[in-house]
Amino acid sequence: MNENKDENSFCQDSIVTGVGLGSKDWQKDISEIKRENKKLLENMNPDDIEKLRNEIMKKLSSKTVEFLKSKKFSYRSSLKKTSEPIVEANDYEKVRKKAEEIVEKIPIKMDEIKARKYVHMDVIEKEKLEWIGDVYSDETNVQERKSQNIDSLAARFDFEG
Per residue in 62-116, pLDDT (tens digit) is: 888 888 777 765 655 555 555 555 555 567 778 778 777 776 776 667 777 777 7
Cβ(113)–Cβ(124) under 8 Å? yes
**Measured distance CA(82)–CA(74) in Å, rounded:** 12
pLDDT averaged over the chain?
69
Q: What does the pLDDT read at residue 12?
A: 45
The CA angle 21-24-27, to the nearest 5 degrees, is 70
Q: Residue 128 in 3-state DSSP?
A: helix
Count Cβ atoms below 10 Å from residue 129 Cβ, excluding itself: 19
Per residue in 40-70, pLDDT tens?
A: 889 999 999 899 888 988 888 888 888 877 7
pTM over 0.75: no
